Structure 1
Amino acid sequence: MIIAVDFDGTIVEHKYPQIGKELPFAFDTLKALQRKGHKLILWTYRTGKELDDAVELCRGKGLEFYAINRNYPEEKLTENIGRKILADLYIDDRNFGGMPQWTDIFQTLHPEETFSTHKYSKKKWWKI
């Protein structure tokens, strides 16, 4: 599944143009989704240095995206191509109903998993 993920208000608190504090379990969940085979696209309003700072924070937390503000890494953007991302799922704090908890997102996508000890996380919040 291709999942487009917003940054401000979704992965971190909304403090744009600064970078807010990490939302609980955001990076753990996103990395677990990647381990499950999902492709993650960073889908954000940020550009230039502000985008570079966001990408660098994610890399520092061990999260590499399949693509950033594009459908696939090699896509060439021009003024004739809109920034609409083609994905199976969009995770954004501006969703109807607001931003769900990251643990709820994972549980919805993988209901066969149980929350207990996650073998990949120091925070030990679910088992894969």
Structure 2
Amino acid sequence: METTKTIAVDFDGTIVENAYPGIGKPMLFAFDTLKKLQQEGNRLILWTYRSGARLDEAVQFCKDNGITFYAINKSYPEEVLSEEISRKINADIFIDDRDVRGMMGWGEIYQILGSSAEKSPTLKQKRSKPARNKTKKSFMSRIEELFKDENA
């Protein structure tokens, strides 16, 4: 039995190039990847800063490119938002250009999330490799190493 995921996706800088308040050009393979993920049964949520007419434009742009979202700026379509409830998205995956590692390519995203990823022997091998005996460093010591040369 295949498990489906709820995938929240940002719009500006993620699905399209960042041209806010306008709509940028589609990112390479963004719509192809989203369509494929949706065909595999995953739920797609548009989770964006946009609101009002700008949000309506983005939603229509996605519809024109073959994507209809399960929910828009909500965890599920029936959700009623209030100031008393946190707006944290209830999703398994969040795809955003502001990730600490930056935006990876959509082809790479599909390799990680697509249904073929679960059957891929390479991915299984990577998961089943025994852990190396590394000395664990704290987060701060790794950050200090990154900036060591700059401070010298």
User: What is the TM-score of this pair, normalised by structure 2?
Assistant: 0.72
Task: State the Cα distance separating 1:81 from its structure 2 match.
Answer: 2.2
Q: Does 1:33 align with 2:37?
A: yes
CA deviations 1:74-121 (Å, max 9, x no partner) are 1111222232111110000001111111011011123247xxxxxxxx
Ranges in structure 1 where 5+ consecutive residues have no aligned partner: 114-128
Paired residues for 1:25-64 under 5 Å: 25-64=29-68
Task: State the Cα distance separating 1:12 from its structure 2 match.
Answer: 0.3
**d(CA) in 1 for partners of 2:87, 2:33:** 25
Q: Please identify runs of 4+ aligned residues in structure 1 that moved more than 2 A.
A: 110-113
Aligned residues: 113
Residue of structure 2 equivalent to 1:22:
26
Q: Does 1:95 align with 2:99?
A: yes
Q: What one-letter code is carried by the residue in structure 1 that aligns with 2:92?
A: D
Ranges in structure 2 where 5+ consecutive residues have no aligned partner: 121-152
**d(CA) in 2 for partners of 1:83, 1:69:** 9
User: What is the TM-score of this pair, normalised by structure 1?
Assistant: 0.84
Q: Secondary structure at the match of 1:3?
A: strand
Larger radius of gyration, structure 1 or 2? 2
